[in-house]
């Protein structure tokens, strides 16, 4: 299980991460195959890039079961420039998600603050201590309706842990097959073994050049949609 290289130059690499592959190991003694282990084997010099030796070159992450596009820095100049753009919300990101239930509105915006709570992220309004809450913004648009599901294009404006998953669950439309946040509303198309979330688009500028990348739905998600038609 290795990522596909979509694009690379001397400053960065853009990869298509498969579902099931974690970005980095849970601890430094782990021998689990990860995006980081793949990067170090392919680009040995990347080990000194960034602020954390366990996450070299990583400027943003995807959940283990989320597939799709990631950009990775090959040098510190690029690392800090991309990090700045992500922090200032200058990077445009799009995801495709299959949500449980039928949406009543064609588009919407969720702006509920989130707070990390152990391995999960929760709505800050549901915690007694909200001092560590962070603003989170998620825009969505309906792409297609299925029997009991809605296919969405998601544009997160911030990058909080599990943001899309928590925000959709907060409006009672959790992502299909999301065992962590689905609760009583959890549903899953036949044959799908992970949550239906794919990072499909990434757009940013680097050294005055506009960089734009897309990734099609992987076979397991495409087959899940066919099963619902």
* Whether 69 contacts 202, CB under 8 Å: yes
pLDDT for res 124: 63
Instruction: Evaluate if pTM is beyond 0.85.
Output: yes
Secondary structure (3-state) at 88: coil
Per-residue pLDDT of the chain (229 residues; tens, 9 = 90+): 889 999 999 999 999 999 999 998 776 666 789 999 999 999 999 999 999 888 999 999 999 999 999 999 999 999 999 999 999 999 999 999 999 999 999 999 999 999 876 666 777 666 555 667 889 999 999 999 999 999 999 999 999 999 999 999 999 999 999 999 987 778 999 999 999 999 999 999 998 899 999 999 999 999 999 999 8
What is the C-alpha to C-alpha distance for residues 37 and 31, in angstroms, rounded to an integer? 9
**Tokens 């597939």 belong to which residue?**
67
* Whether 3 contacts 35, CB under 8 Å: yes
pLDDT for res 127: 54
Q: How far is CA 227 from CA 65, 122, 130, 152, in A?
A: 20, 32, 42, 17
The one catalytic residue among 16, 63, 178, 220: 63
pLDDT for res 28: 65
- Give strand pairing partners of 13: 8, 72
Domains of the chain: 1-88 (3.30.2350.10), 91-201+213-229 (3.30.2350.10)
Is residue 178 part of the annotated active site? The answer reads no
pLDDT for res 178: 95
Cα 201 to its chain centre, rounded Å, is 11
* Whether 199 contacts 154, CB under 8 Å: no
């Amino acid at each position: 299980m290795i990522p596909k290289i979509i694009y690379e130059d001397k400053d960065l690499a853009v990869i298509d991460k498969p579902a099931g592959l974690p970005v980095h190991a849970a601890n430094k003694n782990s021998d689990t195959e990860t995006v980081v282990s793949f990067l170090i084997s392919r680009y040995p010099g990347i080990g000194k890039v960034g602020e954390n030796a366990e996450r070299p070159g990583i400027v943003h992450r995807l959940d283990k079961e989320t597939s799709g596009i990631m950009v990775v820095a090959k040098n510190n100049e690029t690392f800090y420039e991309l990090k700045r753009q992500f922090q200032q919300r200058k990077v445009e990101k799009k995801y495709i998600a299959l949500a449980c239930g039928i949406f009543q509105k064609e588009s919407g915006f969720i702006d509920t603050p989130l707070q990390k709570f152990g391995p999960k992220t929760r709505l800050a309004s549901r915690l007694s201590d909200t001092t560590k809450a962070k603003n989170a913004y998620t825009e969505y648009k309906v792409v297609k309706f299925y029997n009991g599901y809605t296919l969405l294009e998601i544009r997160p404006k911030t990058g909080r842990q599990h943001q899309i998953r928590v925000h959709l669950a907060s409006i009672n439309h959790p992502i299909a097959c999301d065992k962590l946040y689905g609760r009583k509303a959890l549903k899953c198309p036949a044959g799908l073994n992970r949550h239906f979330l794919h990072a499909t688009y990434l757009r940013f500028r680097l050294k005055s050049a506009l960089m734009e990348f897309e990734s099609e739905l992987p076979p397991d998600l495409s087959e899940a949609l066919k099963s619902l038609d």
